């Protein structure tokens, strides 16, 4: 699991002016500009049988006309602030249609438009992981077969490019595409499986908008107007308001540098042969005396580098025993997030380029013919494109030793020299190079600015979507709020606040909002993922919401469980039952109440249709019980009708019961439909 801390993704002027593949007619001089957000493009899906907003910018006082080929029109006048908005009626699902937008004498024509069901998919990495997975360590189950079968042209996909901003943005980068094996492979696996199930059941076009950023907390997804209502966040929200001009200056500085667009490359080789004007950095005799120092292992975001994605060189010169000269050595660096190319004495000895290697330990062989004296220079170019970056892990795993004798190892942890040479933003590298160490001149901002800065992702990746008419919202996030007390203790306030915020801004009432409860995993010793899970359960008290439980389909070896099919299916069950009138059981047991009788706790649940079923794991029920002394012990359980009796001979007078109250505890309680019960506790004691 990586904490993503990245800098600004920029909406280019060209993308802003041309939202997707469209045809523009009319004399160029007739209007200074016509701007419609990228959400409106060929292949888009508009919500059926509703009134959908369409909006943009133009010259004040110009007439706006929107014409749809299903027989509806809408008109408006551009306001003094250059904005306009119309409301266009839609009919029942179908298509393809055309929509024409005319402002003054300029027209944009959108083709292959469908009417159907539109859902927003948002959150962090478990909603982000694509159908192709992040091999080798984070696969999606049956990925190859699923991709080959993903030929659904009436399912349409819109991926919002990563973007952070200090103010709500008007536009985003992205375009609607038809679902086929090529486009589905790179789209959210959870979103795809949800959309496919809806399509199979409803037989109407489905539009999926994907706005995600792995490793992010919930705070950046909430607007300043709402987050500032919580005392813990008011000061940082106020600070962001103050530095907006400085953020703009930083963006201008970044844009002034040469660009390498890896997004336009072959995906199999997008990181090969990247030239950041840094070719000399690998040499043994390169002069790095002016470089700054960093103690490794660490994520560089925890150092003076701050929130940064891109390429950073690390160099270290060590003295080795004379007996090692001409001997083959083994270089161990531990995990590197995300990619690396590694040299010893100017000779490349290894490297891993591509996605999915962020947790892979680096172990490279150093040939004896480059070990010619007792001075050994190690140079590593690390590339991070999302998440915490750097050489991280256990310092005892950073070492070098003779190939056949690890007992003589020299530890490499401690001080290294470093220099950032390129910054990665939205599939582009902005090249700083080595000469003059330009990164040292990068404008400084008095607060942290990145995707985990409160409000930044709402501004950059949610605000541009509002008020596009949605049927509902899907959310999968919470892992990154499991580590700090200020995060997991506040999640019970932050999550309902996000729902309230988004609903208020979309102005569509209590729009359906369904989420995935985070799965068991090892996390860290100080993590309290079960606190987040319980906060997610408590949020079900918010009207028109629902939760998918994943306690039975987790993977304790990865924070990204491979089974995304069942996650998408279970989300779809909520939507089919609550929004489309299908008679399906859509939730596992949810704690309702507890009574104590004859020294035993009697637990009642919602969603027990067909009764309850227990499946102990290795003899464990994953229930614990306590009396007034708050000393929790393992409990026995027994199903009685639609209730569960929980007890222990060590607790004569039960006061509290908890279930799966741990980072790695998995499901043992289900209903007869096979859906698992949620983590819960009957008490409100501290942790």
Name, in order, each residue with C-beta under 8 angstroms of 144's C-beta and a sequence gap of 6 or more: none
| Domains, the chain, with CATH or none | 13-234+453-579 (3.40.50.1110), 275-441 (2.60.120.260), 590-681 (no CATH)
DSSP readout, 581-612? ---------EEEEEEEETTEEEEEEE--TT-E
d(CA 604, CA 591): 6
Per cent of the chain over pLDDT 90 is: 85
Comparing 168-172, 200-204, 450-454, 640-644, which segment has the lowest mean pLDDT?
Answer: 450-454
Residue 266 CB partners (closer than 8 Å, separation 6+): none
pLDDT grade, residue 30 (50/70/90)?
A: very low
Tally of CB atoms within 10 A around 75: 12
pTM of the model: 0.87
Cβ proximity of 300 and 390 under 8 Å:
yes
> Which neighbouring-strand residues pair with 295?
415
Name the nearest CA neighbour of 2 among 479, 532, 487.
479
Give the C-alpha separation, 39 to 210, whole Å. Answer: 11
* Mean pLDDT, residues 498-514 taken together: 97
**Percent of the chain clearing pLDDT 70 (strictly above):** 95
Q: Quote the pLDDT of residue 324.
A: 97
pLDDT averaged over every residue in the chain: 93
The stretch 534-551 carries a mean pLDDT of 98
pLDDT tens column, 478-488: 999 999 999 99
Count of all residues that appear for the chain in the document = 687
Look at residue 20 and tell me whether its pLDDT is greater than 50: no
Rounded CA separation 474/504 (Å): 16
pLDDT reported for residue 265: 84
Nearest CA to 115 out of 84, 89, 150, 85 is that of: 89
**Do the beta carbons of residue 77 and residue 58 sit within 8 Å?**
no
Structure confidence by residue, pLDDT tens digits, 318-362: 999 999 999 999 999 999 999 999 999 999 999 999 888 888 999
User: Does pLDDT of 513 surpass 80?
Assistant: yes
Q: Please list the helix, strand and coil fractions of the chain in percent, rounded to the nearest 5, in that order.
A: 25, 30, 45
* Residue 355, pLDDT score: 80
User: Model confidence at 32, in pLDDT bands (50, 70, 90)?
Assistant: low
DSSP 282: G
| Burial class of residue 49 (count of CB atoms within 10 Å of its CB; 0-12, 13-18, 19+) | exposed
What is the DSSP-derived secondary structure letter of residue 519? P
Return the pLDDT at 31.
43
What pLDDT, on the 0 to 100 scale, is given for residue 425? 86
Name the pairing type of β-strands 656-659 and 23-25. unpaired
In this predicted structure, the answer to whether residue 8 has a pLDDT above a threshold of 60 is no
For 17-28, what is the mean pLDDT? 30
pLDDT tens readout for residues 217-274: 999 999 999 999 999 999 999 999 888 889 889 989 999 999 999 988 887 789 999 9
Could you report the per-residue pLDDT of 274-323, keeping only the tens digit for each? 999 999 999 999 999 999 999 999 999 999 998 899 999 999 999 999 99
Residue 276 and residue 310 in contact, taking contact as beta carbons nearer than 8 Å = no
Cα distances from 60 to residues 64, 192, 277, 670, in angstroms, run 10, 41, 47, 60
Going from the C-alpha of 387 to that of each of 1, 47, 125, 171, 216, the distances in angstroms are 9, 34, 10, 24, 9
- H or E element: which one contains 246? helix 244-255
Cβ within 8 Å of residue 269, ≥6 positions away:
none
pLDDT band at 21 (very low <50, low <70, confident <90, very high): very low
Least confident stretch, 238-252, 413-427, 518-532, 641-655: 238-252
Q: Per-residue pLDDT tens for 138-149?
A: 999 999 999 999
Q: How confident is the model at residue 27 (pLDDT cuts 50, 70, 90)?
A: very low
pLDDT score recorded for residue 12? 28
Residues 450, 311: Cα–Cα separation, whole Å = 17
Judged against a pLDDT cut of 60, whether residue 2 lies above it is answered with no
Structure tokens given for 479: 């892992």
CA atoms of 333 and 311, how far apart (whole Å): 17
Q: Give me the helix-helix angle, 231-242 and 244-255, nearest 10°.
A: 50
Q: What's the pLDDT tens digit per position in 569-612?
A: 999 999 999 999 999 999 999 999 999 999 999 999 999 988 99
- Give the integer Cα–Cα distance in Å for 574 and 571: 5
Pair type for strands 106-123 and 23-25: antiparallel
43 and 178 in contact (C-beta within 8 Å)? yes
The 10s digit of each residue's pLDDT in 395-422 is 999 999 999 998 999 999 999 999 999 9
Q: Where does the pLDDT of residue 472 fall: very low under 50, low under 70, confident under 90, or very high at 90 and above?
A: very high
């Amino acid at each position: 699991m990586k904490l993503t801390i990245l800098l600004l993704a920029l909406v280019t002027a060209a993308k802003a002016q041309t939202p997707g593949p469209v045809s523009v007619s009319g004399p160029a001089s007739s209007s200074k500009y016509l701007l419609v957000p990228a959400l409106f493009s060929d292949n888009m899906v508009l919500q059926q049988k509703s009134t959908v907003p369409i909006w943009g910018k133009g010259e004040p006082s110009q007439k706006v006309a929107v014409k749809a080929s299903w027989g509806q029109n809408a008109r408006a006048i551009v306001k003094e602030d250059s904005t306009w908005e119309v409301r266009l009626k839609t009919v029942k699902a179908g298509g393809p249609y055309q929509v024409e937008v005319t402002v003054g004498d300029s027209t944009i024509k959108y083709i292959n438009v469908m009417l159907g069901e539109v859902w927003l998919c948002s959150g962090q990495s478990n909603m982000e992981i694509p159908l192709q997975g992040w091999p080798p360590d984070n696969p999606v189950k049956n990925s190859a077969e699923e991709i080959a079968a993903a030929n659904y042209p009436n399912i349409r996909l819109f991926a919002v490019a990563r973007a952070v901003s200090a103010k709500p943005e008007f536009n985003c980068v992205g375009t609607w595409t038809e679902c086929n094996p090529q486009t589905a492979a790179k789209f959210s696996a959870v979103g795809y499986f949800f959309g496919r199930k809806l399509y199979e059941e409803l037989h109407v076009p489905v539009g999926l908008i994907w706005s995600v950023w792995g490793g992010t907390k919930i705070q950046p997804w909430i607007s300043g107007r709402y987050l500032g209502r919580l005392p813990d966040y008011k000061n940082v929200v106020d600070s962001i308001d103050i530095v907006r001009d400085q953020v703009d200056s930083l963006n201008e500085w970044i844009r002034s540098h040469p660009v390498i667009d890896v997004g336009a490359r072959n995906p199999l080789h997008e990181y090969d042969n990247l030239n950041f004007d840094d070719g000399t950095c690998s040499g043994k005799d390169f002069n790095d005396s002016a470089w700054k120092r960093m103690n490794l292992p660490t994520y560089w975001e925890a150092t003076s580098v701050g929130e940064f994605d891109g390429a950073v060189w690390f160099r270290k010169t060590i003295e080795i025993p004379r007996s090692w000269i001409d001997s083959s050595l083994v270089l161990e660096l531990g995990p590197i997030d995300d990619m690396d190319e590694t040299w010893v004495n100017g000779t490349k000895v290894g490297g891993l380029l591509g996605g999915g290697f962020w947790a892979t330990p680096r172990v490279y062989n150093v040939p004896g013919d480059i070990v010619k004296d007792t001075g050994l220079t190690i140079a590593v170019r690390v590339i991070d494109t999302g998440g915490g970056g750097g050489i991280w892990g256990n310092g005892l795993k950073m070492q070098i030793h003779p190939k056949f004798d690890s007992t003589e190892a020299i530890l490499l942890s401690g001080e290294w020299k470093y220099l950032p040479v390129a910054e990665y933003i939205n599939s582009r590298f902005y090249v700083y190079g080595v000469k003059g160490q330009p990164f040292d001149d990068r404008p400084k901002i008095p607060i942290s600015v990145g995707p985990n800065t409160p409000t930044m992702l709402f501004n950059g990746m949610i605000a541009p979507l509002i008020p596009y008419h949605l049927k509902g919202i899907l959310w999968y996030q919470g892992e990154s709020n499991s580590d700090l007390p200020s995060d997991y203790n506040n999640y019970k306030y932050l999550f309902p606040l996000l729902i309230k915020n988004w609903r208020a801004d979309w102005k569509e009432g209590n729009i359906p909002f369904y989420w995935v409860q985070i799965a068991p995993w090892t996390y860290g010793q100080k993590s309290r993922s079960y606190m987040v899970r319980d906060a997610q359960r408590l949020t079900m008290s918010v009207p028109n919401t629902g939760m998918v439980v994943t306690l039975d389909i987790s993977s304790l070896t990865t924070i990204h469980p491979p089974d995304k099919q069942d996650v998408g299916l279970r989300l779809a069950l909520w939507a089919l039952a609550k929004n489309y009138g299908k008679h399906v059981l859509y939730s596992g047991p949810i704690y309702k109440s507890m009574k104590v009788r004859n020294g035993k706790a009697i637990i009642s649940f919602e969603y027990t249709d067909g009764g309850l079923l227990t499946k102990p794991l290795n003899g464990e029920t994953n229930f614990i019980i306590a009396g007034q002394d708050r000393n929790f012990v393992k409990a026995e359980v027994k199903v009685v009708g639609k209730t569960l009796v929980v007890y222990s001979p060590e607790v004569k007078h039960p006061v509290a019961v908890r279930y799966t109250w741990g980072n790695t505890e998995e499901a043992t309680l289900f209903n007869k439909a096979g859906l698992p019960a949620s983590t819960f506790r009957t008490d409100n004691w501290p942790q």
